[in-house]
Amino acid sequence: MKIKQISLFLENKPGHLNTICRKLANSNINIVTLSLADTQQFGIVRLIVKDWERAKSVLEEAGHVVNVRDVIAAQVKDVPGGMADIIDAVGAVGVNIEYMYAFSFRKDQDAVLVFRFDDADKAIVELEKIGAKILTSQALFE
């Protein structure tokens, strides 16, 4: 029920993000979504791609530090309150959100929320209780 996210260390220099995108493009890897977290000195790029293993090796060969993590992608109705319901549910049992980002899902005209929780398994139980649809990578990429 989890999907793979790859993240990269990013030096805060002009052109650095572009080289990453270019590398993936040259290897014909499409970025489903990405999020950027940055400070003054460095950043973290988090990417969802279909072929994450190939993306990882392409980027590592280019000299990047890459980390792979399971994240949870919840599909919600793209309507007011769609996200609030989810956050309420996990907040009620004391699960913390390390980070999240969102994108709209072409297939069903829905939104997808990507989460890293501090307790992923507990979060899944709660999300299932309120009937949230948790995407498998198969559902996400088919």
Name the residues that contact other proteins, by CB under 8 A: 5, 7, 9, 11, 37, 39, 41-42, 44, 46, 63-67, 69, 98-99, 116
Which among 86, 46, 87, 90 is positioned nearest to 69, based on CA atoms?
Answer: 46
Shortest separation between residue 131's beta carbon and other proteins, angstroms: 28
Is the CB of 78 or the CB of 119 nearer to other proteins? 119
Shortest separation between residue 133's beta carbon and other proteins, angstroms: 24
Shortest separation between residue 11's beta carbon and other proteins, angstroms: 6
Is the CB of 120 or the CB of 133 nearer to other proteins? 120
Shortest separation between residue 129's beta carbon and other proteins, angstroms: 26
Q: What Rg, from alpha-carbon coordinates, does the chain have? A: 16
- 70 CB-contact burial (10 Å; exposed 0-12 / middle 13-18 / buried 19+): exposed
Is the CB of 12 or the CB of 136 nearer to other proteins? 12
Tracing tokens 């969802």 back to the chain, one arrives at 48
Which among 137, 139, 131 is positioned nearest to 70, based on CA atoms?
Answer: 137
